[in-house]
C-alpha cells in the first residue's frame, strides 16, 4: 500500500507542476511545462522475453539502440526526474542483468540496461497508469543470436550520435590574466560512480566537495574557477578534457572517491598524475575502472590516445607532467596534516581525464566510500572545509611565483 501512496503523491505533484505558470521549477530541475517524473519501475521475465516497465507522469518520445562489448540497451528520453526506489536496477531479471538511469545532458536523460545475453527490442508501447494522466512505458526485449545482435548494434552506431554536449561554461573574461583553474567533479547523471552502504553516491559527494573548493578559491580573488559540471549531469571524459583546454586552464583538478568491495579497512586520500605506465597494479585497475565511465553511460570510446601528438606537443606534455608532479607533491604535503592519506599517497596511472597535454592535471581520490571512517569524513562539512582549505593552500603555492610577478607588474609606473 505504501508503494501506491508514494506513486500517487509523486505523479500528482508532477501534474500540478506541469500546470504551473511559466518559470516555475519542477522536481529535479525540469521546467514546469515539460516536467516528467518517473515514479516506479518493474522488470518482468516470461518465456524468453523481458518487459521493462517504468511509470511516468506523462507520455514521452524515446529512442533506443543496442551496443556490444559489453552488451547494453540504451534508452534516451527527454529530461526526467527519477524518483525510483534506491534498490532499482540492482537485481537481475530475465534478459536484464542490471540497469542505471540519470541525467545525460541538459534536457536529456538516459537509461542503460546491461544485458545478460544478446537481446533486441521487440516492442515499445504505453499503457494507462494507475492515476489520471500517468502512463507506463513498456519496453519489451527478446532473445537474439550473436550475429543478429551484432548487426543491430552496427546499425545503431551508424544511425545515431552518442556524443554528449559541452559540459562547462568556458567563457573567459577579456583581459583577465588570473590563473584559470578547472575543477572536475567525477561521474554525474547516469554515471553514479562508487556507492556507499548508506546509499550515498560518489557523484553527489564529489560535486559538493568541488563546489566548496570553487567557493574557497574564488573568495581569494586571485583565480578564475570553472566547474566541468555544476549539477547532476553526465559529462564524457573527452568533454572534460576539452572543457579544460577550451578554458585555457592553468590547472585541472579531477575529484573522485573510490570504493573497494569487502575492503572496509582500506582507506585514505590519494593523488594521481597521468602516465602511460601505472605506478602499481592497484592504480592500473583504478584507471581502468574510471576510463570505463563513458561505456557505463552508453558511449563507445576508442582505446588509443585522443589525438596524434607531434614533437612539440610531446615536449609540452613532458613539461606539463613535470608541473603536474610538482603540484601533486604540494597537494600531499598540505593535506597530510588534516586528512588520512593512503599508505602510498602519490601514484600514477593512465587516466583518460588527465590527457590534456598542455594543462597540468591531477586526480584526487578523497577517500574510500567502502570505509566507514572515510565516509564519515567525506560527509562532514567541517572536514570538507579543512580539506578545501589545504587544497587552496597548495594552489597558492603552485602559482606563487606567477602571482608575485603579476603583482609586481601591477605596481610598476
Interval 335-354: pLDDT, tens = 999 989 999 999 999 999 99
The answer to the question of residue 26 being in a domain is: yes
Interval 13-49: pLDDT, tens = 554 444 443 333 332 333 334 569 998 999 999 988 9
The answer to the question of residue 387 being in a domain is: yes
In this structure, what CATH number is given to the domain that contains residue 280?
A: 3.40.630.40
- Give me the pLDDT at residue 262, please: 64
How many degrees, rounded to 5, is the angle at CA 279 between CA 277 and CA 280? 110
Name, in order, each residue with C-beta under 8 angstroms of 206's C-beta and a sequence gap of 6 or more. Answer: 185, 186, 187, 193, 255, 256, 257, 366
Interval 60-111: pLDDT, tens = 999 999 998 889 999 999 999 999 988 899 899 999 999 999 988 878 899 9
Q: Is the pLDDT of residue 241 over 70?
A: yes
Strands of the sheet with 72-78, listed across from one edge: 63-67, 72-78, 108-115, 96-105
In this structure, what CATH number is given to the domain that contains residue 106?
A: 2.60.40.3500
Residue 81 phi, psi (nearest 5): -90, 105
- Give me the pLDDT at residue 128, please: 87
Residues 150 and 248 in one domain: no
Interval 295-311: pLDDT, tens = 878 886 654 444 545 66
Q: Is the pLDDT of residue 323 over 50?
A: yes
The answer to the question of residue 166 being in a domain is: no
Q: Percent of the chain beyond pLDDT 90?
A: 59
The answer to the question of residue 202 being in a domain is: yes
Last residue of a domain, one of 129, 159, 189: 159
How many degrees, rounded to 5, is the angle at CA 232 between CA 241 and CA 288? 45
Full residue range of the structural domain in which residue 209 is found? 180-300+308-408
Q: How many angstroms separate the Cα of 207 from the Cα of each of 37, 71, 186, 378?
A: 23, 30, 8, 12
The answer to the question of residue 17 being in a domain is: yes
Residues 86 and 197 in one domain: no
Interval 359-376: pLDDT, tens = 999 999 999 999 999 999
Count other C-beta atoms under 10 Å from residue 46's C-beta: 8
- Give me the pLDDT at residue 302, please: 54
The mean pLDDT of 146-173, rounded to a whole number, is 62
- Give me the pLDDT at residue 315, please: 74
Residues 140 and 197 in one domain: no
Q: Is the pLDDT of residue 133 over 90?
A: no
Residues 232 and 365 in one domain: yes
Last residue of a domain, one of 159, 192, 224: 159
The answer to the question of residue 164 being in a domain is: no
Longest dimension (CA), the chain: 84
Residues 260 and 141 in one domain: no
**Which grid cell is 17?**
507542476
- Give me the pLDDT at residue 30, please: 37
Residues 149 and 216 in one domain: no
Calpha distance 232→187 (Å, rounded): 9
The mean pLDDT of 156-185, rounded to a whole number, is 63
- Give me the pLDDT at residue 372, please: 92
The answer to the question of residue 172 being in a domain is: no
Residues 155 and 286 in one domain: no
Calpha distance 59→277 (Å, rounded): 49
The mean pLDDT of 255-275, rounded to a whole number, is 87
Residues 207 and 254 in one domain: yes
Last residue of a domain, one of 96, 125, 159: 159
The mean pLDDT of 303-329, rounded to a whole number, is 74
Interval 206-232: pLDDT, tens = 999 999 999 999 999 999 999 999 999
Calpha distance 112→121 (Å, rounded): 13
Count up the domains in the chain and report the number. 2
CB 169 within 8 A of CB 226: yes
Please name every residue paired with 66 in a beta bridge, in sequence order, or none if there are none.
73
Residues 142 and 283 in one domain: no
**Which has the minimum average pLDDT: 92-106, 194-208, 325-339, 399-413?**
399-413
Calpha distance 259→266 (Å, rounded): 9
Amino acid at each position: 500500500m505504501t508503494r501506491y501512496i508514494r506513486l500517487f503523491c509523486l505523479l500528482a505533484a508532477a501534474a500540478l507542476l506541469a500546470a504551473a505558470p511559466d518559470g516555475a521549477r519542477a522536481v529535479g530541475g525540469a521546467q514546469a511545462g515539460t516536467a516528467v517524473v518517473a515514479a516506479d519501475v518493474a522488470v518482468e521475465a516470461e518465456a524468453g522475453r523481458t518487459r521493462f516497465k517504468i511509470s511516468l507522469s506523462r507520455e514521452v518520445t524515446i529512442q533506443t539502440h543496442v551496443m556490444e562489448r559489453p552488451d547494453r540497451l540504451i534508452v534516451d528520453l527527454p529530461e526526467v526526474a527519477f524518483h525510483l526506489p534506491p534498490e532499482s536496477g540492482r537485481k537481475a531479471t530475465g534478459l536484464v542483468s542490471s540497469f542505471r538511469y540519470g541525467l545525460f545532458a541538459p534536457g536529456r536523460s538516459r537509461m542503460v540496461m546491461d544485458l545478460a545475453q544478446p537481446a533486441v527490442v521487440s516492442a515499445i508501447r504505453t499503457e494507462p497508469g494507475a492515476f489520471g494522466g500517468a502512463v507506463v512505458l513498456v519496453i519489451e526485449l527478446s532473445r537474439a543470436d550473436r550475429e543478429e545482435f551484432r548487426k543491430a548494434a552496427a546499425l545503431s552506431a551508424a544511425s545515431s550520435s552518442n556524443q554528449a554536449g559541452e559540459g562547462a561554461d568556458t567563457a573567459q573574461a577579456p583581459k583577465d590574466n588570473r590563473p584559470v583553474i578547472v575543477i572536475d567533479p567525477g561521474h554525474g547523471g547516469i554515471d553514479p560512480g562508487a556507492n556507499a552502504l548508506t546509499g550515498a553516491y560518489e557523484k553527489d559527494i564529489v560535486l559538493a566537495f568541488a563546489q566548496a573548493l570553487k567557493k574557497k578559491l574564488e573568495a581569494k580573488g586571485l583565480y578564475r574557477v570553472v566547474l566541468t559540471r555544476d549539477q547532476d549531469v553526465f559529462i564524457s571524459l573527452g568533454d572534460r578534457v576539452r572543457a579544460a583546454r577550451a578554458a585555457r586552464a592553468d590547472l585541472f583538478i579531477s575529484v573522485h572517491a573510490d570504493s573497494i568491495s569487502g575492503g572496509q579497512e582500506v582507506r585514505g586520500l590519494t593523488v594521481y598524475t597521468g602516465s602511460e605506465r601505472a605506478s602499481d597494479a592497484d592504480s592500473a585497475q583504478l584507471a581502468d575502472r574510471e576510463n570505463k565511465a563513458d561505456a557505463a553511460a552508453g558511449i563507445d570510446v576508442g582505446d588509443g590516445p585522443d589525438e596524434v601528438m607531434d614533437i612539440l606537443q610531446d615536449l609540452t606534455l613532458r613539461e606539463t607532467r613535470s608541473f603536474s608532479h610538482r603540484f601533486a607533491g604540494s597537494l600531499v604535503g598540505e593535506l597530510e596534516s588534516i586528512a588520512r592519506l593512503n599508505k602510498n599517497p602519490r601514484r600514477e596511472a593512465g587516466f583518460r581525464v588527465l590527457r590534456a597535454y598542455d594543462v597540468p592535471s591531477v586526480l584526487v581520490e578523497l577517500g574510500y566510500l567502502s570505509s566507514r571512517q572515510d565516509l564519515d569524513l567525506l560527509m562532514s562539512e567541517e572536514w570538507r572545509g579543512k580539506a578545501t582549505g589545504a587544497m587552496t593552500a597548495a594552489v597558492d603555492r603552485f602559482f606563487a611565483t606567477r602571482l608575485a610577478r603579476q603583482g609586481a607588474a601591477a605596481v610598476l609606473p
